[in-house]
Structure 1
């Protein structure tokens, strides 16, 4: 009975900032890439927990209940975060309390209470919805290709044809490619779901292999002028500058993946598109696919 009371007293005494420090140590072990560095998910966890700690600097961990989570969420809305961003942040807080419950830092009722906060939904809250990412129209893409140097042209075309995630694309190395005649298989060392011990298979056909063609098949397939790999900032900057030279509306590398998703889905169906894009679910693939109004109109002419 005495031990039980001591445990209960310890749970009630733990401060939120102490729980945050313990969870960050745990997350640092969980969310680490093959290069030994923390992943972007760990950085996102660290960011939201820092915001939570600033908002509630001196409360007990057991005192974070639904109304306090909602109050923190309302502050995120006032700071102009989008619905998706806010839901992701609250989800990370819920994960921390699952961890706390497993290790008996808080009672199970605290965990259940925190997880009772429902996600925000578009049209039912004050937070702004995420802006829909659309594919790049071919006219704009062609204008950018005309003013780009040889390497940027090849990069954009390869990205457009394969639909790789930007990180998979610019971290591609020759040693990761298995080329056999007119087809190739690319198995990236590190990717979005690598922490789940899943392999990501990306296939290339003759057009892509021709665009990759190089006599110096060592290191990164696409290198900067300094001989290093591109990153999401340098690659995006190159595209934005090309858009400015062409005098067209700017687009981002992410939009090229949406081009591929739409093309894959229309040609091969959503199941194949899901595998080509490396998505876990078909629902995720549908987010990337452009609304097929033209296809519906063609169907109407034939069947309705």
Structure 2
């Protein structure tokens, strides 16, 4: 295995000219008379820029769109991280970068202008993306080229030209409008609950009572709950508006408190709603219904190497907490059982039937919001759901907190 070289590019003497020289990325930089103070200062500056990534192996006129994408993605993998995990923005940028690469990957980056961006936007319109999604994707590409400009990979004119492209306006484009997220009817939720695992059913009930976001339900831990008052307070450690410096508190009323009791007798930093526990319960139920003799076939612990069978390196096995995606998939599977298509439905229309009869966790939040607004008013709904419109001043926020506690007290 070759030895890894960690030394910096050397300050050398060019014998033919008598000048100092340093080679960065295969390019010789002449620094002035060898051993002079000015040449050493210039060497120090070039090395500092080299170590910080300011000097790259490509000149700006030779950089392609694909190379800009690659360098920007290295930045995104570090920047778009929250609590040690990649944020959803990383996935969105990856999708946009793939689409951009397919059409313009080999194009010199300096030649990618507003007309090229508009052509890419037209492809998205033809593919059926909504207007708001397209505008967000265009913004991601503009930010990519702004980053490249800040890193001195491209001249400022490239980013300025792309930023001049106006966004799509409602009623002035063929792009479809996004469908609003409707609330889910209570009777629909109740019809689905019997087909959910007990832990997921309790997650649904808790979210309906508190109006919490799906991610907040999945991240709930005993250590995050302040139980010093009659209305408990769930101080969300990581939430949607955290990067704006806002606090998020979910108020837990008496009915939700009773629901949570059985999930609090665990380690303070363990997740209340754990898919591992759901898998253990499911296996216990299946084992209780077992017909095969224990001496035959598989049995608990027979093929296990880890102490806990539910935790494996295999990504198909249960993790320590639900994610919004796994929470949603569990609900969708229950919907498919609760609202099974009639026998006359053909395979071609089965997916549409399932789509029409499925609901998602974010709809529970809308259901809670509708109920709170109807019973307690708009302002109470804003603060209970953690919307920014109610976060004005510290005094106003405290008055809102009292209102949110009253909502939790009465709704459960």
TM-score in same-fold range (> 0.5): yes
Contact preservation (8 Å) 1:240, 1:252: yes
CA distance in 2, matches of 1:256, 1:240: 13
2:77 to 28, 33, 39: 28
C-alpha spacing 1:120/1:259, structure 2 compared with 1 (3 Å): same
> By how many angstroms is 1:67 displaced?
0.7
Q: Which residue of 2 aligns with 1:125?
A: 173
Q: What does residue range 201-212 of structure 1 map to in structure 2 within 5 Å? A: 201-212=249-260
Q: Which residue of 2 aligns with 1:223?
A: 274
Matched, 1:75 2:183: no
> By how many angstroms is 1:141 displaced?
2.2
> By how many angstroms is 1:114 displaced?
0.6
> By how many angstroms is 1:93 displaced?
0.7
User: Structure 1 or 2: larger helix share?
Assistant: 1
CA distance in 2, matches of 1:274, 1:126: 34
Q: Which residue of 2 aligns with 1:191?
A: 239
CA distance in 1, matches of 2:144, 2:378: 35
The alignment's TM-score, normalised by the length of structure 1, stands at 0.80
CA distance in 2, matches of 1:247, 1:40: 30
Question: 2:363 aligns to what SS in structure 1?
Answer: helix
Matched, 1:241 2:333: yes
CA distance in 1, matches of 2:387, 2:107: 40
CA distance in 2, matches of 1:49, 1:246: 39
Which stretch shifts more, 185-194 or 147-156?
147-156
> By how many angstroms is 1:139 displaced?
2.4
Q: Which residue of 2 aligns with 1:180?
A: 228
> By how many angstroms is 1:279 displaced?
3.4
User: Which of these two proteins has the greater Rg computed from alpha carbons?
Assistant: 2
Q: Which residue of 2 aligns with 1:169?
A: 217
CA distance in 2, matches of 1:241, 1:261: 25
C-alpha spacing 1:195/1:217, structure 2 compared with 1 (3 Å): same
> By how many angstroms is 1:250 displaced?
2.0
Q: Which residue of 1 aligns with 2:365?
A: 257
Deviations 1:17-67 (A, max 9, x none): 222222222222221111x22211122112211221121021121211111
Question: 2:279 aligns to what SS in structure 1?
Answer: coil
Question: 1:240 aligns to what SS in structure 2?
Answer: helix
> By how many angstroms is 1:149 displaced?
5.3
1:11 to 54, 60, 68: 60
Give me the CA root mean square deviation: 2.6
Question: 2:82 aligns to what SS in structure 1?
Answer: coil
Q: Which 5+ residue runs of structure 2 have no aligned equivalent?
A: 1-57, 281-319, 341-356, 391-412
C-alpha spacing 1:90/1:182, structure 2 compared with 1 (3 Å): same
> By how many angstroms is 1:269 displaced?
4.1
2:137 to 89, 97, 114: 89
Question: 1:203 aligns to what SS in structure 2?
Answer: strand
Contact preservation (8 Å) 1:170, 1:231: yes
Which stretch shifts more, 146-155 or 98-107?
146-155
Higher relative contact order (CA 8 A, sep 6+): 1
Q: What does residue range 37-116 of structure 1 map to in structure 2 within 5 Å? A: 37-116=85-164
C-alpha spacing 1:151/1:58, structure 2 compared with 1 (3 Å): closer
